[in-house]
Structure 1
Amino acid sequence: MTQQNFDFEKVQKKIQQKNHRRGILLVFSAVLVTILLFLAVPKVLNQFFYNPTGQNAYVEGNQYIFDRQIYNELTIPDYDMTDLTMEQTGIGTYQINETYRSKYSNQTIGTKTFEIKRNKLYLNNSDFHYFTPTFSQEMLPSNQLADTKVVKADTALAKSNLRENIKPLPKSTYVNVNLVFKADKSISAYQEWLKLNTNNVNTLWQAVRPSQKTIDDTNNPVVVGFNPAGGFSGIGVGIKNEKQLNDDFPLLVSHLADTKQNQWSEEKRQTTHFKSLLQYLIKNESFLAQDPSKIQAATLKNVLADVNKNGLKIYGVTLYLPAFELEKILTDDAVKSATVTKVDVFPLTSQSGQLPGFTYPPEE
């Protein structure tokens, strides 16, 4: 038998090579795990916080836009949101900028910049105010209002002064106005009043009378209402499941109405739409919870319960109409007060420039 020599150095070299390869593999594995953790951990952590850029069962993405449009319809009579940008700046942290304009106008009237940071909203800047005095003052508790006789005298004088200020305007002048009625009206009663007192006036918003239970924790009045047309203006939103949305929240978006819903009375359609606004926000209360200044789900439940019990009653409306139509309305005793929020003066030189739906009286 031939004796083989044992090469210790060769064996040691092989062991060193194996250890070197194992070390490289361990380093590579550690780097890979670190990269995966770096990518995955923020995504995991973000799941614990409100994500305005995400999607829900109804919209394709950026659910905040859809939620905001619904909340705006519920609470803002005179303005549209025309631009919105969102940027994620950290884990659960988003920078949001909103831009608003007056309805029927391209003029920007305000912006709002804020940060949602881990389920809390921090306002950075805002020059936009949501509620007009007409509706918010109307909802103040009686013990916060001035003497009733003085208020009646002031509102009568204000109506008279407004009529006198309207008279010299060109007949082609259009105005946005918030009207408050002396007595609340059902939808059908309002439609009848509109038919008797106006000609083709566009109702932009209707203020709904909530019960006293809906005053918030700071004792501020809660102003809610809706667009009777049931559609959003401003930024469009992509809906990915239209049938499901209309089944869960009937007539939330008017153009999704089915054949049966299109046959309902106007009162039933508008009541259903308003209740769906409330129900959608109640179900998606994470949107409301970011900002304590928003009307919260518990208050919306009280409004919904009140409508279910007493029916839908409106105490005021926002109209877009010719100034001469408003002059006529201000003589009606049913109108308690009127606040003009925007005036468009554009004298027309030809019949082709006349807005559709109106026959203008001759200029004096």
Structure 2
Amino acid sequence: MKPQNFDFEKIQKNIKKKNQRKNLLIVVITVLLTLCLFWSVPKVLNQFFYNPAGKNAYLANNQYLFTRQIYNELTLPSYTLTDLTIDQTGIGSYQIKETYSPKYSNEVVGFQGLEITRNKRHYDNNFYPISPVFSQELATKKTASADNNLAKSNLLENIKALPKSTYVTVDLAFKEDKSIPEYSDWLNETTTGAETLWQAVRPPQNAITENKTPTVVGYAPTGSFSGISVTVTHEKKLNEDFPLLIGYLANDKQNNWPEEKRQTAHFKSMINYLIENEDFLAQDAHLLQKTTLKNILQAVEKNGIKIYGVTLRLPAFELEKILQNEVIKTAYITQLDVFPLTSQSAQLPGFHYPTEK
């Protein structure tokens, strides 16, 4: 057997090439793993925190917007969320800006800036809505009757001086709570052309916040909240789980329900939806929490809805009739719009305006 000749230089080159390919492969794999980790780890970590722009069982996205507008209907009589931006700033961190306007107005009355950082909410600035009548009715046991009558008298005199085409949005509180049928009968007997925007529901004594502030809750009797539209991807399931949460999702059977049953179902569905989506509430201790909402729900189940105040939009001359009604305890105008009449065509449809003096 002849001895073999080894080309050591060639062997070394082959080994070097193999090592280079191996090192290049390691570098490529390392880069790919790094990129995968860079993109996937934040997404994985974000799953452990509340995502306001994320989805739930009924929505493909924007769960915060949908839940916020339900919460606003429950707690804000006269304001609408007209703009919302959500920007993710880190893992589990989001910057949110909310813009509010009075209902039936394009005027901006407040911004609320907040940040959600890993399931904790922090406010940059707060929008404090005003609801004097409803808050005061819950905060005080008794208010002097003479003071109330004087305030109503002064408001009545001021209204008489307004053009008859003036529209007002007003918060009213009753001397005695009313059931839904009782309120409907009173409104039909007292005035025409009044639109009920919101009805304040008497909360039980145990429905108080941690700082003992009054719990003001209510609902829009139309069964639909105003504001930014949200696309519901599973409408049938939403209406089955929370009947009449959104009025236009009503089925044929629900459309034939009596008005009291429809309104009660809507109010209860709002509360139940918030209870089921308590991750929204848990971000902020200042919001009504699950226990408080359950107490309100139990009171409605036991006693029905008790209306102690309403927000109405109506012509000023129609408000004159209401202020002369003995069942009204207090009244507070939150918005006033004047439409000067220059001709018959300037009148708003559906109303016969008294002759201007």
Aligned counterparts of 1:256 and 1:38: Cα–Cα separation in 2: 42
Aligned counterparts of 1:327 and 1:335: Cα–Cα separation in 2: 12
Aligned counterparts of 2:255 and 2:309: Cα–Cα separation in 1: 26
Letter of the 1:87 partner, please give it: D
Q: Secondary structure at the match of 2:295?
A: helix
Partner of 2:270: 277
Partner of 1:164: 157
Name which of structure 1's ranges 20-29 and 179-188 shifts more when overlaid on structure 2.
20-29
Question: How far 1:280 moved relative to its partner?
Answer: 0.3
1:213 aligns to 2:231 (yes or no): no
Letter of the 2:106 partner, please give it: N
How many residues end up aligned between the 2 structures?
357
1:327 aligns to 2:320 (yes or no): yes
Aligned counterparts of 2:72 and 2:254: Cα–Cα separation in 1: 24
1:289 aligns to 2:282 (yes or no): yes
Aligned counterparts of 1:62 and 1:209: Cα–Cα separation in 2: 31
Partner of 2:171: 178
Spell out, residue by residue over 1:1-32, the C-alpha distance to the aligned partner (whole angstroms, 9 max, x if none). Answer: 44321222221221121111111111111111
Aligned counterparts of 2:272 and 2:129: Cα–Cα separation in 1: 22
Spell out, residue by residue over 1:237-268, the C-alpha distance to the aligned partner (whole angstroms, 9 max, x if none). Answer: 11111100000000000000000100011000
Letter of the 1:109 partner, please give it: V
Is the CA contact 1:251–1:257 (under 8 Å) kept in the aligned structure 2?
Answer: yes
Aligned counterparts of 1:247 and 1:61: Cα–Cα separation in 2: 20
Aligned counterparts of 2:254 and 2:181: Cα–Cα separation in 1: 17
Partner of 1:53: 53
Q: Secondary structure at the match of 1:139?
A: helix
Q: Secondary structure at the match of 2:68?
A: helix
TM-score (norm 2): 0.98
For structure 2, the 5+ residue unaligned runs are: none
Q: Secondary structure at the match of 1:214?
A: coil
Name which of structure 1's ranges 128-137 and 80-89 shifts more when overlaid on structure 2.
128-137
Is the CA contact 1:252–1:277 (under 8 Å) kept in the aligned structure 2?
Answer: yes
Is the CA contact 1:75–1:130 (under 8 Å) kept in the aligned structure 2?
Answer: no
Spell out, residue by residue over 1:276-300, the C-alpha distance to the aligned partner (whole angstroms, 9 max, x if none). Answer: 0000000001111111111111100
Spell out, residue by residue over 1:179-224, the C-alpha distance to the aligned partner (whole angstroms, 9 max, x if none). Answer: 0000000000000000000102100000000101001111111000
Question: How far 1:164 moved relative to its partner?
Answer: 0.6
Aligned counterparts of 1:349 and 1:290: Cα–Cα separation in 2: 53
Question: How far 1:132 moved relative to its partner?
Answer: 0.9
Partner of 1:138: 137
Aligned counterparts of 1:347 and 1:168: Cα–Cα separation in 2: 13
Q: Secondary structure at the match of 1:222?
A: coil
Of 136, 141, 148 in structure 2, the residue corresponding to residue 155 of structure 1 is 148
Question: How far 1:130 moved relative to its partner?
Answer: 2.5
Letter of the 2:241 partner, please give it: D
- RMSD across aligned C-alpha pairs, in angstroms? 1.1
Question: How far 1:141 moved relative to its partner?
Answer: 5.2
1:344 aligns to 2:337 (yes or no): yes
Question: How far 1:358 moved relative to its partner?
Answer: 1.4
Spell out, residue by residue over 1:31-63, the C-alpha distance to the aligned partner (whole angstroms, 9 max, x if none). Answer: 111111011110011001000010111122111
Aligned counterparts of 2:83 and 2:22: Cα–Cα separation in 1: 56
Partner of 2:189: 196
Partner of 1:298: 291
Aligned counterparts of 1:54 and 1:348: Cα–Cα separation in 2: 49
Is the CA contact 1:83–1:99 (under 8 Å) kept in the aligned structure 2?
Answer: yes
Partner of 2:92: 92
Aligned counterparts of 2:117 and 2:346: Cα–Cα separation in 1: 50
Letter of the 1:89 partner, please give it: T
Spell out, residue by residue over 1:86-122, the C-alpha distance to the aligned partner (whole angstroms, 9 max, x if none). Answer: 1001111111111111111111111111111111111
- Where do residues 302-317 of structure 1 align in structure 2 (5 Å cutoff)? 302-317=295-310
Aligned counterparts of 1:315 and 1:251: Cα–Cα separation in 2: 23
Question: How far 1:357 moved relative to its partner?
Answer: 2.2
Aligned counterparts of 1:294 and 1:101: Cα–Cα separation in 2: 20
1:224 aligns to 2:231 (yes or no): no
Partner of 2:242: 249
Q: Secondary structure at the match of 2:161?
A: coil
Of 253, 271, 283 in structure 2, the residue corresponding to residue 260 of structure 1 is 253
Aligned counterparts of 1:108 and 1:336: Cα–Cα separation in 2: 30
- Where do residues 94-113 of structure 1 align in structure 2 (5 Å cutoff)? 94-113=94-113
